[in-house]
Amino acid sequence: MDGPSPTTDPLRNEFGSLNDLAHELASLQDLALRGSWRSILDKVSRARSLDLLSKPHDHLIYLSYNVLALTKLRRFTDASAEIDSLHDFNSHQYKYESYPQLYPSRSGSMVPFSLRFIHAQLPFKLENRQEGLDRFYLLLSFIRQKIKEKGSNSFQESIKIWRKRENFVLHCLIGHHLGAKDFIVCLDLIRDLIDHDYLDPVLISKLGYIQMQVGDIEGAKGSFHRVETMFNEGKNDGYSSLSEVEFRNLVNRNKALIYLVGKDYVSAVREYEECIERDHTDVVAVNNKALCLMYLRDLSDSIKVLENSLERVPTVALNETLVINLCSMYELAHVNHSEIKRTLSNWIAGVAPDDFDASCTRA
Amino acid sequence: MSTAPQGTHSLAFRVMRLCKPSFHVDPPFRIDPADLFVGEDIFDDPLAAANLPPILSTQLSKSMDSSDLTYGNRFLLQHPSDAMGFSGLLLLPQSFGAIYLGETFCSYISINNNSNFEVRDIIIKAEIQTERQRILLLDTTKSPVESIRAGGRYDFIVEHDVKELGAHTLVCTALYNDSDGERKYLPQFFKFVVANPLSVRTKEITYLEACIENHTKTNLYMDQVEFEPAPHWSATVLKADELHPAYNSSTGEVFKPPILIRSGGGIQNYLYQLKLASPDSAQMKVEGTNILGKLQITWRTNLGELGRLQTQQILGTPISHKEVELQILEIPSLINLDKSFSVHLNLTNHTDRELGPFEVRLSQDSVHGEKNVMINGLQTMVLPQVGAFASSDFHLNLIATKLGVQKISGITVSDTREKTFDLLPDVEIFVESD
């Protein structure tokens, strides 16, 4: 086809900025980053009622943000209903080639992949774990089929993206099996990835955590040793793109866990402090250090560590697990703990994103 | 769980079971911008493939910049394994949970002064009370805590290896001088129940099969299951060939799949071959008892939390002292219907005196019903005397009256005075047509 070169055509700048991709996408994205999911619902509703969405892909992208917002606000039934309103992801009405005037010389599905992901994950939140697993495994074979098809057409960038999605779904599956304590399946899935040369130090560390959870301490040590070797050999292939600080902290945190399991909490605290010194936003190190202090009978300092992190780096430290831990500590430290928990709840209400589950304070 | 008496106390105990923390797992709804901003097949378009990646990576780095105060980390994926929802964040135990025999009970105990005045000279004790005994875990009598200020606390951690089943009470007491100088006594009680984690059933001949069933609510990682044989026995554990051979991944690592017994009724079997340590010890077998040994079981739960148990002595079936033993040595491989076949038998005299003469016959046992394999010819075979510790071979002609799998059963040896010495155990044969 005779046309402008793919990279420079000022008249056809379809990809200059976010707003070129969809109507006011930059604003939607900004709201999402702030966790203002209620505002997103408002914005989508407004755009729909004022008929501001002209193209089919705009509708799909807005629907995706809407579904995601409903999910974040824990309105899982509503989210499910909205996805179901599309009926069939693979329908020709969601294909670029069905609208040749709008998308000349473009073909394929315009469904944002996150909709397929959310569709697979929602059943878990609706107490239907088996359905969720089935959907994820079906999604996995769908992705693998796509990769095969793209391969025969040699769409390099596309194949890269679909392979990323394949890994993504595998990681979701490992997480869900882990949540259900299907440890053998998890270990098999991870080994499968590793044996196919997917050598992500973060994944191998997580293999170690699973081995530890199960009680196989020697196995965990082996996995952590492998990660440390990868660090020392400067191996950090493209999989996880860890910065040097992140990689160092990972190694330290793994060491800390071994100490923790061996009840050497003093050494564990020392490892975590090294992490925090290097990167004060390492919330896993902060949280776990606080727990170690508690096991060292220092409840006061464990509370201080968590409170300080919330104050210092709220957008990183504010997560439900850390808050649950802090509240458990309050319940132990104070006979009348409702007051202090209420103070915490009020502070959270002023700072937290819409999707924060405030019930975790048990206030 | 705690019962504190009425009346105003300045102090109060707060207690939290301190078993190991657990990893938090919760696959999140976090996504990659490439899966939200555009259609999933857009990268087939070379224009998109060239121009989109920069926009996407800008978005990603924006969300990871913690000086830009956003909650992007709750929405976008920053590393591929974020999708697992398993970051290594630890969670404190959220409930007391179940506690089992063989585990270690560990508890954080905090004594709070929730009054507005200082208290002094506090003697603190912590004990575990069971049906059978009272175990002291902590006692500050020799060095009382000087004071706890208003709003202050004194903390301690206690540990106790649980060796009894049933009701346990953690008794915490404080004897202190309150602000009026009055000496006060505060007892608080925290009850819990210890259950049996495993049941062990054994079956054996000279093989011991132990079946371990998990009654707890969590999976158990079997660290060690060892059979300690009694003095005159030796034991070897028999394992099936591994279904999944040890991995040899690209970096040459070897992986041993863990033995996990699933919670709430999962079962793992162990097989041991037992041999008498020396031939002489056969003589040591006392009639009626046969102690084989004990099982030592060590298991791990969450984050390596250890538990251990030892079974009681496992007994073998009592050795019956056979004076005369009847055995089949050989059966023909081809047995035809209604055709006589010869079975080679051996009779052994285990006593130290001459026995016999003997009679070998098919016992008319109504329990076994109609017999399909009978003695052909004379229904009683007479055998001459057999000397002390000697044996004698003979042949018996049998005939089968039905096709298929049949049993030779009821062959008995007795002496001429009707005393039965031995009954040959049932043997299966296959009867074919001509």
Of A241, A271, A305, the residue at which a domain comes to its end is: A241
- Residue A99 belongs to a domain: yes
Q: What is the mean pLDDT of chain A?
A: 92
For strand B2-3 and strand B420-423, is the pairing parallel, antiparallel, or unpaired? unpaired
Burial class (CB in 10 A: 0-12, 13-18, 19+), A361: middle
More confident residue, B50 or A137: A137
Which is nearest to A68 in space by CA: A3, A117, A134? A117
Pairs from A348-352 (Cβ < 8 Å, separation ≥ 24)? A348/A318, A348/A323, A351/A314, A351/A318, A352/A35, A352/A318
A12 vs B294, more confident: B294
> With contact defined as beta carbons under 8 Å apart, do B393 and B354 qualify?
no
Q: Which of B 201-260 lie inside 8 A of A, CB atoms?
A: 219-221, 223, 247, 249-251, 253, 255-258, 260
**R_g (Cα) of chain A, nearest Å:** 24
Model confidence at B279, in pLDDT bands (50, 70, 90)? low
Per-residue confidence (pLDDT) for residue B252, from 0 to 100: 43
Q: For the domain that residue B235 is a member of, what is the CATH number?
A: 2.60.40.1230
Last residue of one domain, picked from the residues A123, A157, A174: A123
Domain contains A172? yes
**Is B86 close to A216, i.e. CB distance below 8 A?**
no
B contact test, residue of A31, A65, A157, A331 with most B CBs within 10 A: A157
β-bridge pairing B119-129 and B145-148 = antiparallel
Final residue before a domain boundary, out of B84, B105, B134: B84
Same structural domain, B188 and B211: no
Determine, yes or no, domain membership for B1. Answer: no
Q: Is residue B247 part of a domain?
A: no
- Establish if A119 belongs to a structural domain: yes
- The number of domains in chain B is 4
- Report yes or no on B30 lying in a domain: yes
Whole-model pTM: value is 0.77
Residues ≥6 apart with Cβ < 8 Å to A107? A95, A96, A97, B41, B44
Beta bridge partners of B112: B12, B153
Q: Are A362 and A341 in contact (CB under 8 A)?
A: yes
Torsions phi, psi for B193 (to 5 deg): -120, 135
Q: Is A54 domain-assigned? A: yes
Closest-CA distance, B369 to chain A, in angstroms, reads: 50
At B140, which CATH number?
Answer: 2.60.40.10
Contact A213 B302 (CB under 8 A): yes
Question: Given this model, what pLDDT does residue A241 score?
Answer: 76
What does the radius of gyration of chain B's CA atoms come to, in whole angstroms? 37
| pLDDT of B66 strictly over 70 | no
Report the C-alpha gap between A142 and A235 in whole angstroms: 32
Phi, psi of B190 (to 5 degrees): -125, 115
| Preferred mutation among B9, B26, B36, B119 to probe A, highest tally of A CBs within 10 A | B36
Q: Determine which of B15, B45, B104, B154 to mutate to test the interface with A (most A C-beta atoms within 10 Å).
A: B45
Judge whether A156 lies within some domain. yes
Contact B220, B243 (CB under 8 A): no
Are residues A77 and A147 located together in one domain of the fold? no
> Does residue A154 sit within a domain?
yes
pLDDT for B367: 58
Which tokens belong to A185? 């399946």
Q: Hey, are the CB atoms on B21 and A291 less than 8 Å from each other?
A: yes
CB atoms within 10 A of CB A106: 19
Q: Sort A148 into a burial class: Cβ within 10 Å, 0-12 / 13-18 / 19+.
A: exposed
Q: Is residue A278 part of a domain?
A: no
Q: Which amino acid is at A164?
A: K
Closest residue in A to B49 (Cα–Cα) = A157
Rounded Cα distance, A260 and B19, in Å: 12
Of B36, B80, B250, the CB nearest to A168: B80
Q: Give the model confidence (pLDDT) of B139-163 as tens digits.
A: 999 999 999 999 899 999 999 999 9
What mean pLDDT comes out for the span B323-333? 86
Please indicate, yes or no, whether residues B291 and B186 belong to a single structural domain of this protein. no
State the pLDDT confidence band at B342, using cuts at 50, 70 and 90.
very high
What CATH number is given to the structural domain containing A139? 1.25.40.10
Structural domain harbouring A65: 1-123
Taking alpha carbons only, the member of A337, A347, A293, A359 closest to residue A317 is: A347
What is the model's pLDDT at position A77?
A: 97
Cα separation, A91 vs A85, in Å, equals 12
pLDDT score, position A5: 44
From A259's Cα to the closest Cα of chain B, the distance in A is 11
- Residues of chain A short of pLDDT 70, as ranges, are 1-13, 235-240, 363
The residue of chain A with its CA nearest to that of B78 is A240
Domain closes at, from B140, B161, B195: B195
Helix axes A113-125, A156-179, angle to 10 degrees: 10
Q: Do B374 and B415 belong to one domain? A: yes
Tokens of B202: 């054994």
Q: Are residues A26 and A96 in the same domain?
A: yes
Q: Which of B92, B153, B216, B247 to mutate to test the interface with A (most CBs of A within 10 A)?
A: B92
- Whether B4 is in a domain gets the answer no
Q: How far apart are CA B228 and CA B235, in angstroms?
A: 8
Tell me, yes or no, whether B360 and B404 share the same domain: yes
Please judge whether B35 and A195 are an interchain contact, meaning their C-beta atoms are less than 8 angstroms apart: no
Which of B53, B83, B221 is facing A215, going by the closest CB pair?
A: B221
B203 φ/ψ sector (left φ>0, alpha ψ -120 to 50, else beta): beta
**How far apart, in whole angstroms, are the C-alpha atoms of residue B113 and residue B151?**
5
Q: Which residue has the tokens 């069939």?
A: A88
A63 and A108 inside one domain: yes
Task: Check whether residue A137 and residue A221 sit in a common domain.
Answer: yes
pLDDT in tens, B349-406: 888 888 888 888 887 665 556 778 888 888 888 888 888 888 899 999 999 999 988 8
My answer on whether A109 and A168 are in the same domain is no
Q: Are strands B380-383 and B358-362 parallel, antiparallel or unpaired?
A: antiparallel
Interface list for A 316-355 with B (CB within 8 A)? 316, 318-319, 321-322, 324-325, 328-329, 331-336, 353, 355
Answer whether B219 sits within 8 Å of A214, measured CB to CB: yes
Flag if A167 and B80 touch (Cβ within 8 Å).
yes
Instruction: Say if B296 is an interface residue toward chain A (CB within 8 Å).
Output: no
Residues A211 and A171 in one domain: yes
pLDDT tens, position by position, B248-266: 444 445 456 788 888 888 8
- Residues with Cβ < 8 Å from B18, sequence gap 6 or more? A294, A295, B93, B106, B107, B108, B157
Locus of tokens 């009850």: B191
pLDDT of residue B251: 43
Residue B327 contacts by C-beta under 8 Å, 6 or more apart in sequence? B345, B346, B348, B424
In whole angstroms, give the CA distance from residue A165 to residue A143.
7
The pLDDT value given to residue B204: 56
pLDDT band at B319 (very low <50, low <70, confident <90, very high): low
Contact A171 B83 (CB under 8 A): yes
- Residue A6 is nearest to which of B47, B53, B302, comparing CB atoms? B47
Do B177 and B129 sit in the same domain of this protein? yes
Domain holding B225, by residue range, is 198-240+259-315
Note whether A116 contacts B: Cβ–Cβ < 8 A: yes
Chain A nearest-CA distance from B206, in A, is: 32
Token pair in block for residue B429: 């044969």
Query: CA-to-CA distance for A267 and A262, rounded, in angstroms?
Result: 10
CB A341 within 8 A of CB A330: yes
Q: Are residues B157 and B80 part of one domain? A: no
| Percent of chain A's residues with pLDDT above 90 | 82
pLDDT of residue B288: 47
pLDDT tens digits, residue range A202-251?
Answer: 999 999 999 999 989 999 999 999 999 999 988 665 555 788 999 999 99
| Final residue belonging to a domain, choices A221, A241, A261 | A241
Q: Provide the 10 A C-beta neighbour count for residue B125.
A: 16
Burial of A79 (0-12, 13-18, 19+ CB in 10 A): buried
Q: Is A220 found in the same domain as A149? A: yes
The number of folded domains in chain A is 2
- From residue B208, how far is each of A9, B198, B234, B317, B409 by CA, in Å? 81, 18, 12, 11, 27
Contact with chain B for residue A74, Cβ under 8 A: no
Closest CA to A363 of A336, A333, A332, A342: A342
Share of chain B above pLDDT 70, in %: 86
* Same domain as B106, residue B123: yes
Is residue A154 located within the same domain as residue A235?
yes
Confidence at B59, pLDDT banded by 50, 70, 90: confident
Nearest CA in chain A to B151: A334
Q: Between A197, A212, A332, which is nearest B108 by CB?
A: A332
Residue labelled with tokens 């464990």: A302
Judge whether residue B287 has pLDDT over 50: no
Contact at CB, B256 and A294, closer than 8 angstroms? no
Amino acid identity of A192? D
Asked if residue A166 is part of any domain, the answer here is yes
- Helices A113-125 and A129-153: crossing angle, nearest 10°? 160
pLDDT-derived band at B2, boundaries 50, 70, 90? very low
Task: Give the separation between CA A142 and CA B419, rounded to whole angstroms.
Answer: 78
Residues of chain B with pLDDT > 90, as a percent, come to 36
Do you find a cis peptide bond into B357, omega within 30 degrees of 0? yes
- Say if residues B361 and B379 touch (Cβ distance below 8 Å): yes
Structural domain contains residue B148: yes
Contact B91/A at CB under 8 A: yes
Question: Per-residue pLDDT for B17 more than 60?
Answer: yes
Average pLDDT of the residues in B48-72 = 80
Determine, yes or no, domain membership for B252: no
- The minimum CA-CA distance between B69 and chain A, rounded to whole Å, is 6
Tokens representing residue B222 in the block: 């079997």
Taking contacts as CB-CB distances below 8 angstroms, the residues of chain A near B29 are: 68, 71-72, 118, 121
B22 forms beta bridges with B91
What tokens does A285 get? 């190190």
Locate tokens 């049932």: which residue? B426
Cβ pair B255, B297 in contact under 8 A? no
**Is B210 a domain residue?**
yes
Q: What is the pLDDT of residue A164?
A: 93
B210 and B298, same domain (yes or no): yes
Burial B325-339 (b: 16+ CB within 10 A, else e): ebeeeebeeebeeee
Same domain, B96 and B203: no
Place of tokens 């913690």: B66
- In a shared domain, residues A53 and A75: yes
Q: Is residue B218 part of a domain?
A: yes
Q: In the structure encoding, which two tokens stand for residue B50, read together?
A: 């060239």
Beta-bridged to residue B432, according to DSSP, are B336
**A contacts of B91 (beta carbons < 8 Å):** 321, 324-325
Instruction: Tell whether A119 and A133 lie within a shared domain.
Output: no
The dihedral through the CA atoms of B66, B71, B76, B77 has a sign that is: positive
Residue B272 tokens, joined? 């041991």
Q: E-strand spans in chain A?
A: none
Question: Is the same domain home to B309 and B204?
Answer: yes
Q: What pLDDT does residue B197 have?
A: 87
ipTM above 0.90, yes or no: yes
Are residue A4 and residue A27 in the same domain, yes or no? yes
Q: Residues 59 to 78 of B: which have CB under 8 A from any A CB?
A: 59, 62-63, 66, 69-77
Mutual orientation of helices A265-278 and A283-295 as an angle, nearest 10°?
150
Whether residues A157 and A216 share a domain: the answer is: yes
